[in-house]
C-alpha cells in the first residue's frame, strides 16, 4: 500500500501495479472508508481528519477550510473526498480522511480480471417508485410540455427499493461493480449512520491536473445486447439517432458555455463517439482545455457545471422545477457529484449515476433518462430498466 505522500505520476505510471489496486479494493470497510477508483488511480480513504461544514458559505470555501485545518493538524498533503448532492444547497458528504492510500488504476492491475465473489442468495422484494406506468405518464407529460415550447429537455428519474432477508453486502457489491466495468468510476462513500452511497458511474464531469482540464459528458443511450451482431447494430443506430444526437448536443453545448470563461482554449469535437459499459452504450464527447490565468480548482469547475443537462435538463432552473413536480422522491446524492480534490486544486469529479444507497433496511437504486420532445415514454421507461441492470447484477436480483 502506498500512502498519502505518493505522487500522482507514480499512480498513473502503473509501476508496481500487480495487486496494489485490488489490495485497496479488498481492504475497503464500509463503516470507516471512502473508496474511489477511476481510469487514472485507486484511492482508499480511512477515518476523518476534518469534516466539511454545512453552512451558508460557498462549498469551495468550506472545503478549503477543511483542507487548511487538516494541514494545520500535521497532514502535509490533504485531500477532500466524498459526494455532493443533486441540490448543491443541501448538505454534502465530504471529508478530509485521516489516512489516504493510493494505487494505480484498477484496469492496470491484472488481478482485477479475477472473478468477484457471487452474491449470496437473497429473497429480494422490489418496490418501484413510481410504478413504471406512472413514470411513463410523467415522461408523456414532459414531452407534451416540450412540444408546447415550455422547455427543451428534462431528465426524469425513478427509484427501485430492494429489501431482503439479509443486510446488504456492501463490500461484495463494490467488488462486483469494480470488476464489471474496470475502466469506469467506482465509488463507495459513507453518507450517514449505517448508510453508504455506492456505484459505478461511466461519466466524468470534470478533472483537473495543473492547468489542464478534461470533461466527458455522456447523453443519449441504448441498452447493450448479449448477441454480438445486435449489440453492434444498436451501437451504430445510436450514432445516427436524431433524438439521441439532439439530447447529446444540448449537454455538450451547455458544458462548452460553462467552461469557456475559464479556458484559453477548449477543444470540443464536432460529433460524439461511443462509450460502453457492461449494460449500456452511450454517446460520448471528450472535451479538453487549458485553464487561463490563475487556475480554478477541479471542485470549482465541477460546481460551475453541476447540474448539467445530462442529469437535470435545459434550461436548468425550469428543468429543476419540472423534476420537483414529476418525481415523487428526493434525489439526495443521486445525480450529484462524487470524487476527490487536493489543496493544489487538482481532482476528479464524476456524475453520481448507476448508483444506490445502502442502509440496514435494504437498498434504493436510481436510474434516469433524458427526455426531449421526440422521446417515447415506453422507450425511456425501458432505458431506465436497463440502467438498473448494473446494480441488480451486483446484488443478484432480477427486475
Listed in sequence order, the residues at least 6 apart from 229 whose beta carbon sits closer than 8 Å to its beta carbon are none
Choose, from 11, 108, 153, 380, the residue flagged as catalytic.
153
Choose, from 125, 150, 167, 203, the residue flagged as catalytic.
203
- The SS3 assignment for 311 reads coil
- The SS3 assignment for 42 reads strand
Strands 33-37 and 185-192: antiparallel
Q: Grid coordinates standing for 299?
A: 471542485
Q: What letters, b where the CB count within 10 A reaches 16 and e where it falls short, cover 38-52?
A: bbbbbbbbbeebbeb
- The SS3 assignment for 282 reads strand
Q: In whole angstroms, what is the distance from residue 327 CA to residue 200 CA?
A: 23
Contact 43, 102 (CB under 8 A): yes
Q: What's the sign of the alpha-carbon dihedral 189, 91, 257, 297?
A: negative
Question: How many other β-carbons are positioned within 10 Å of the β-carbon of residue 95?
Answer: 22
With 0-12 / 13-18 / 19 or more C-beta atoms within 10 angstroms meaning exposed / middle / buried, residue 316 is: middle
Q: Is 153 a catalytic residue?
A: yes
Q: Grid coordinates standing for 270?
A: 464536432
Q: In whole angstroms, what is the distance from residue 380 CA to residue 326 CA?
A: 15
- Host H or E run for residue 36: strand 33-37
Please give the DSSP secondary-structure letter assigned to residue 91.
P
- In 3D, which of 25, 24, 66, 30 has the Cα closest to residue 49? 66
Residue with cell 448477441: 227
Contact 219, 274 (CB under 8 A): no
Residue with cell 427543451: 152
Angle between helices 132-147 and 377-395 (to 10 degrees): 140
Q: In whole angstroms, what is the distance from residue 269 CA to residue 272 CA?
A: 7
Residues acting as catalytic residues = 153, 203
Amino acid at each position: 500500500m502506498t500512502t498519502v505522500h505518493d505522487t500522482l505520476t507514480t499512480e498513473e505510471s502503473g509501476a508496481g501495479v500487480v495487486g496494489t489496486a485490488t489490495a485497496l479494493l479488498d481492504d475497503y470497510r464500509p463503516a470507516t472508508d471512502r473508496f474511489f477508483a477511476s481510469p487514472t488511480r485507486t484511492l482508499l480513504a480511512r477515518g476523518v481528519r476534518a469534516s466539511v461544514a454545512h453552512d451558508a458559505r460557498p462549498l469551495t470555501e468550506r472545503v478549503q477550510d477543511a483542507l487548511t485545518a487538516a494541514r494545520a493538524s500535521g497532514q502535509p498533503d490533504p485531500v477532500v473526498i466524498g459526494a455532493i448532492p443533486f441540490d448543491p444547497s443541501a448538505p454534502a458528504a465530504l471529508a478530509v480522511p485521516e489516512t489516504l492510500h493510493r494505487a494505480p488504476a484498477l484496469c492496470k492491475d491484472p488481478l482485477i480480471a479475477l472473478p468477484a465473489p457471487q452474491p449470496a442468495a437473497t429473497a429480494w422484494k422490489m418496490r418501484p417508485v413510481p410504478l413504471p406506468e406512472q413514470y411513463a405518464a410523467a415522461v408523456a407529460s414532459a414531452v407534451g410540455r416540450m412540444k408546447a415550447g415550455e422547455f427543451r429537455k428534462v431528465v426524469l428519474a425513478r427509484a427501485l427499493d430492494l429489501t431482503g432477508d439479509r443486510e446488504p453486502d456492501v463490500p461484495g457489491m463494490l467488488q462486483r461493480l469494480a470488476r464489471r466495468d474496470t475502466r469506469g468510476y467506482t465509488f463507495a462513500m459513507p453518507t450517514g449512520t449505517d448508510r453508504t452511497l455506492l456505484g459505478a458511474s461511466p461519466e466524468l464531469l470534470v478533472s483537473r491536473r495543473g492547468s489542464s482540464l478534461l470533461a466527458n459528458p455522456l447523453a443519449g443511450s441504448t441498452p447493450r445486447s448479449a448477441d454480438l451482431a445486435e449489440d453492434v447494430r444498436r451501437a451504430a443506430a445510436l450514432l445516427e439517432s436524431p433524438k439521441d444526437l439532439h439530447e447529446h448536443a444540448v449537454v455538450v453545448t451547455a458544458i462548452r458555455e460553462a467552461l469557456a470563461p475559464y479556458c484559453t482554449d477548449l477543444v470540443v469535437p464536432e460529433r460524439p463517439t461511443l462509450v460502453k459499459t457492461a449494460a449500456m452504450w452511450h454517446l460520448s464527447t471528450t472535451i479538453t482545455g487549458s485553464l487561463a490565468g490563475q487556475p480554478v480548482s477541479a471542485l470549482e469547475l465541477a460546481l460551475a457545471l453541476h447540474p448539467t443537462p445530462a442529469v437535470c435538463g435545459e434550461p436548468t432552473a425550469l428543468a429543476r422545477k419540472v423534476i420537483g413536480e414529476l418525481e415523487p422522491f428526493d434525489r439526495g446524492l443521486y445525480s450529484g457529484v462524487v470524487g476527490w480534490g487536493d489543496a493544489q486544486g487538482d481532482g476528479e469529479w464524476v456524475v453520481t449515476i448507476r448508483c444506490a444507497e445502502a442502509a440496514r433496511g435494504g437498498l434504493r437504486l436510481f436510474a434516469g433518462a433524458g427526455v426531449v420532445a421526440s422521446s417515447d415514454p415506453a422507450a425511456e421507461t425501458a432505458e431506465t430498466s436497463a440502467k438498473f441492470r448494473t446494480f441488480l447484477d451486483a446484488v443478484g436480483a432480477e427486475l
